[in-house]
Each structure stands twice: as structure tokens, then as C-alpha cells.
A and B are shown apart, each in its own frame.
Chain A
Amino acid sequence: MALHGKQLGAGDSSGETQAYARRVSIRPIQGWHFLEWREIWAHRELLWVFAWREIKVRYKQTLLGIVWAMLQPFLTMIVFSVVFGHFGKIPSDGVPYPLFTFAALLAWQVFAFGLTQSSSSLVANQQLLTKIYFPRIIIPIAAVLPGFLDFAFASLVFIGLMVYYGVVPTMTIVMLPVFVLLAAIAALSIGLWLSAINVRYRDVRHLLPFLTQLWFYGTPIAYSTSIVPERWHLLFGLNPMVGVVDGFRWALLGAGPFPFRLLLLSLLVTGGLLLGGLVYFTHSEGSFADTV
């Protein structure tokens, strides 16, 4: 009997190819291995289906639905403008404080949503994990996606604010999608770690709100990177969201110089976390169904 050792779990359900041409080998996976790209590609439709389900369910039972995605950053912006902008007189790099903080909140919304949702995604879908096969990584990735829709709606508010303050965007705005993507990838890179850890240690549930809150204050949302002493920038910039937020402000408002060093740092940190997250995730996914 021919044993096809190298076809480790590959080639299933990749469309209507020749009957019986597809062979799926099942054997214990030993040691470290990396992503099975072909499997993920074959199941790409699930990615959209999961994201679509999340969006649909989210707005089914809420009265305001998508309006929440606009209301949350808007109200936060008002509170910050009053407390930090008006009373605290925190410098806002020469742009109106509400715009200054809202640009950062846009970035933060994508990140915080993605982080929270992806971290709890595997446990939230434990029924699927124990009954259906598909590449597990689809779940945390799909969990990040609805954040883009929220971002789109919150952007409408931002456009309104720009019109109100008479601020005209510059050409730098074309770079915005890159920063949005970076915020989502940063969220996913942590989400991969936490979702996999959450399967075994439910402590993550308690850690998560606390972590997001600390992270929020460690990110220049209510304040500007410029008030952080230069010698601390290297340490400060280890938070990948620092570069992303400064990138948002630069792209949307032309505020400050292009944050080259911080962005480079952000990319390095995110890349490292993502790589580590992928390795850890693929390493532990084999036992998800047994431990969740």
C-alpha cells in the first residue's frame, strides 16, 4: 500500500477536481511545523463566512447596531477633548484636539476590537473546534475582520469632524490603508498567542480587559508622542501601536513628521510577535479539540 507521507493533511476540498484523486493522510504531527497555506487557501470561504456571521449577529439584537461603532469613539473623543484638551491643555501637534485624538481612536478601535475578539475567538467557537475540521487559524483571523467595518463607519464621523474644522487632508492619506492593516495585524499577532493560550488557561478572560486598558494608556491617544522624552522613545516604541497611531495622525492630519523610526520599530515588533504567534498557534492547534 502506498503511503503518502509528505501529503500531511493537504489537498482536501480544493474544489471539484478528479474524484478520488484527493488523498488526505492522517497521522500524529510530531515536533514543530508551520502553516499549511494550501489548507488555509482551500478554506478561505470560511474566513468570510465567520466574519459575516459575527457582523450579522452583532447587529441583530442591538437597537443602534452599527451606530455604536461611531458613538463609542465619538463620545470618548468628547470626554478627552474636555478633560485633556480643554482642562489639561495637552498639546496636540498644532491640529484641533478633537481631530487629534479621534484619529488615534480610529487606530485604537481597530486594534482593541481585533485583540479582544481574536483572543476569545477559539473558546467562543469551541463547539466548532470539537465537531468540524478546518484550519483553526481561520477563527482568530476572521474575528479581526469586522473591525474594518467599524472603522469604515467611524471614519464617517471623522470626515464630519474634518469638515467641521475645515481641515483638508493631504496626499499622505493614501498611506492610511497601510496603517489600518498594520493595526489589525498587530491585534492579530497578540490575538494568536492569547487565543491559543485561552484554550488551556481561561485566565486570559480576566487578563484581557486589564491588558487593553493598560495598553490604551501606553499608547499616545489622549496625548502626543512629542511629550514623551526623546530618550524614552525606543522603549515607548516597543508598543507597536505607537508607530501606528503616529502613522494615522500623519496620514490623516499631516500632523508631525513621518514617524519613520517608530514605524520601523512597530513593524519589527509586530513581525516578531506575529511570527512567534503563528508558530505557537500551529504548534498547539493539534490539541485544541482535546483541551478546549
Chain B
Amino acid sequence: MIKDQQIAILAEGLGKRYRLGQRARYMTLRESLSKALTAPLRAMHLADRGESDIGQGMRDDHIWAVKDVSFTVKRGEVVGIIGPNGSGKSTLLRILSRVTQPTEGFAEMRGNVRSLLEVGTGFHPELTGRDNIHLNGAILGMKRREVLKKFDDIVAFAGVERFIDTPVKHYSSGMYVRLAFAVGAYLDPEILIVDEVLAVGDYDFQLKCFGKMNEIANEGRTILVVSHNMASIINLCSRAILLRQGKIVKDGPVSEVIAEYVSGSMTGGGEVIWPDVATAPGTETVRFHSVRLLTEEGVCTSEHDISKDIVLQMRWWNLKEGAKIYSALHLKDHQGITVLAASNMPSTVIKPDRWWNSNHPCGLYESTCRIPGNFLNEGMYSITPIIGTNASHTEVLLEKALGFRVHDSGEMRKEYGGVWDGVVRIRLDWETKPLQEEP
């Protein structure tokens, strides 16, 4: 049991409920008024609580972005919060930063809290670097004299001395984020809340940011940090909390929690199934049954380790006796750029697929494709499975049917902790040899 005075953050049963699509739309007054006329009390009541049911008509379109979240953080602890997209990480930070209110539960922050949910909040392009430092500093909670005291350090950290009196709209994007991060880096809080802002700027600057965060951590500040970069979580944090679907799945030493996250044993997410042949995507000839992403060990998940193989498994029905069928896929990165296109045609595969373009009797088939480990970089990718006939005719193409994330477990980057560019990350043959002794 932790002693009461050692606690910096205390959260008990925190929950946050959103109406689906709440953040995406707002109503017109007319919609609300007409609704209010038909059901005055209910509509008014709901509208007041930001939970209007206008246009949906149902009460079950709510989701809990965060639910039953309880934990305590000791003073000086650096805790990483990890989890897949939409698992409630950012919502949790927003609640603890008091940007949004919890729907239920309770939390207490002991010490002054400063949050960096985004770099450069409130930056105005028309204002100079100097003005924006003052502006951003004040917005982040610094007093004017505090900003003045740290001004030179901030400017030096960002490396924008020459442009400090230039409007930031003339800055390069690199200079802009450097300045924006620099203000945040000098916040000097007792409790710091950071959401995914470490990955800004170029390689050198990232190392600098990283060093700064480490420095803050070593000064005994309490830090709560969200990042998708497992390498930086490993290096920065001693403890991690894994969230899935708004709930804490695991809370403990950083290496164990990351292992749990990467193994993905608790998730679904790696599959789509169409149980009814009649409505499954496809044609008169072929229809999909299911598409799955599996780990080397055969676990179905959308979270994959950078060093392990990813197995794409497609099951499909052949509905036409004797059809000549092939399977293929497109693999795209998060920007939609096709990393690779592949099919089971004999000249492109390692081992010929006996069923490629041969006469298929009616029935259910399974095609698998193995994407090797140590090949994709960390990040988000999508799979577009394709079934075609007669070697070239596409019957059915499921655009981005499955998304998945490749995690950097640290296996392929033991010597470096920053962000690693590139769509792919493969092992290459490197060799350096001395040629002569003196120049």
C-alpha cells in the first residue's frame, strides 16, 4: 500500500461516455426546436447535457471511451499509457487535464498540473516567435515573469534565435514544431501530462526532446505520457498502463505491459467474417467468407510485432464449378500508399501454389500469405484482399478490409530510441573496413 502523501495522481472508477459521432457533428437550432416541440422535456434535458439524441432516436448509441479506470501514480513516477487507437488513452489524459469532464468516477491531482496535449496550442501564424512564446506560455499556465525567465532557454532549445521576431507563418514546419515543443519543454510542472508530442521535428531534435523529457523525469517530476512509440515508452517509463476499449487491461512494469500489448492476445480486431454467404461481398462466382490477420503463433490480432511474421488468411467460397481462381492483396501504409501488391501467381511466389488458376470445385477455400517479420516499419497498415478469376479478372476487392499496427518491440533497434523513418525496415548487409592508417 502506498502512503497517502506519496500519491501524485489518484483515479477511481473514471468513466467518460460519448454519444456516437458527438465530436463530429453539431445540430442546427431547427432540428433541436422541432424535437423539443415533440418531446420538450426529454430533448431539453438531453441537449443540456450534451447528449442529445436528435437524429438518432435511440439511447444505445453511446460509447464509453473510458470506463472503470482506477490507478494511483506515485510522486516522481513516469507512467506510459499505451493501447491501440480508440482505446481511450487521449480521453483519459483529457479528463485528467480537466479539458473534459468525466461522466462518472473521481480523480485527484496533487500538485500543479500542466498538460501538453498538443504542441503549439494557441499559436497564431501572424504573430512573431517572441509573441507566440508569451502567448503559448500563458495558455499553458506560465506566469509572465516565468516566461521571461525561461525565454532565452526556450529560444535556444528551439534553435530559432535568428527568426524570433519573424511571424511564425514564415517558419519552416520544422522550426514551427521545434518552437512549439520548446515552450512545452520548459513548463516546469509537478505533474506533467503529455500526449504523443515527442515525435516532432527531425532526428536531431527528437533526440533533444527525448533528452529533455528524461531530464524532467529525472528531476523527480510525475509524468503521464501517451505514445505509440514503444521505444520511447521503454526508455522513458518505469511503469506502463495498457488500455483497451477504455479499460485498463494491464498495469505494471513497462516491459511486461508492452509484451502484453504486442502479443495482442486479448484483442479481436484482426478479422472480418461474413457468416451468411448470400450477403458476403463477392460475385456469382466467388464470395468472401472471412479475412484474418494472424501472428506466427496463429493468434488472430491487429497488433503485430515488428520482428514476427504476419499471416493473412482469406477464406472464400467458390460458387461456380471449375472456376479458375487466384488470390491477391494490396498492402498500404497509413497514407494509403501501396507498399506492395502481391498474388499467388507462380512467378512471384516462393513456393508454387497448387490451386493458382486451376479448376476449383465448388466449396470453401483458404488462401494464406505470409508477410515476413523484420520487413515493415512500425506504424499503421491496411490490407486489401482480392479474389480474381482467369489470372487477371478481379472478382472482388475489399478496400482496406483490415487495418493493423506493427509495433516496434525494440528488437530491431536496440541502439536507437527515436523515431525511425521509412515505410519498410529491413535488415541489410552493412560492412565497413579500414583502408589506410594516415591521411
Contact = CB atoms under 8 A, between A and B. Distances in A.
Interface string B77-113: 0000000000000000011111111111111111111
Interface stretch (A81-89, A110-118, A125-133, A227-235): A125-133
Contacts of B99: 129-133, 289
A46 B143 CA distance: 9
B29 interface: yes
B122 A57 contact: no
Contact of B97 (A29, A53, A133, A291): A133
B98 A283 contact: no
B96 A26 contact: yes
A133 B104 CA distance: 19
A24 B100 CA distance: 14
B127 interface: yes
Interface stretch (A15-23, A68-76, A215-223, A236-244): A15-23
Contact of A291 (B22, B167, B190): B22
A131 B124 contact: no
Nearest to A52: B135
A155 to B, nearest CB: 27
Contacts of B50: 200, 284, 286-287, 290-291
B26 A200 contact: yes
A201 B106 contact: no
A203 B95 contact: no
A170 B5 CA distance: 65
A287 B28 contact: no
B48 interface: yes
Interface string B140-178: 110110000000000000000000000100000000000
B103 A57 contact: no
A45 B138 contact: yes
B321 interface: no
A231 B273 CA distance: 77
B29 to A, nearest CB: 4
Given A57-B126, A290-B100, A49 B121 contact: no
B139 A132 contact: yes
Contact of A27 (B102, B118, B138): B102
Interface stretch (A1-9, A95-103, A267-275): A1-9
B29 A201 contact: yes
B27 A200 contact: yes
- Kindly name the residue among B111, B134, B167 whose own CB sees the greatest number of chain A CB atoms within 10 A: B111
B127 A290 contact: no
B179 interface: no
B111 A20 contact: yes
A56 B131 contact: yes
Contact of B49 (A22, A131, A287): A287
Contacts of A291: 22-23, 26, 50
- Kindly name the residue among B98, B103, B190 whose own CB sees the greatest number of chain A CB atoms within 10 A: B98
B109 A26 contact: yes
Indicate the size class of the contact surface on chain A. 35 or more
B22 A4 contact: no
B134 A49 contact: yes
A213 interface: no
Contact of A201 (B27, B115, B190): B27
A288 B121 CA distance: 17
Given A284-B48, A290-B100, A19 B111 contact: yes
B144 A12 contact: no
Contacts of A1: 4, 7, 10
A160 interface: no
- Kindly name the residue among A9, A26, A283 whose own CB sees the greatest number of chain B CB atoms within 10 A: A26
Contact of A25 (B4, B97, B104, B106): B106
Contact of B110 (A22, A197, A283): A22
Interface in A10-44: 12-13, 15, 19-20, 22-29
Contacts of A4: 108
Nearest to A291: B50
- Kindly name the residue among A2, A29, A201 whose own CB sees the greatest number of chain B CB atoms within 10 A: A201
Interface string B1-45: 000110110100000001000110011111010000000000000
Contacts of B111: 19-20, 22
A15 B99 CA distance: 21
A203 B107 CA distance: 36
Contacts of A197: 29
Given A131-B115, A132-B99, 19 more contacts: A1-B10, A9-B98, A13-B112, A20-B111, A24-B98, A27-B105, A45-B138, A57-B127, A131-B118, A132-B117, A134-B139, A202-B28, A289-B94, A289-B100, A290-B18, A290-B22, A290-B50, A291-B23, A292-B26
13 contacts: A1-B4, A19-B190, A20-B111, A20-B190, A26-B95, A26-B109, A46-B139, A49-B135, A56-B127, A132-B115, A201-B27, A283-B48, A292-B26
Interface of A: 1-4, 9, 12-13, 15, 19-20, 22-29, 45-46, 49, 53, 56-57, 60-61, 127-134, 197, 199-203, 283-284, 286-287, 289-292
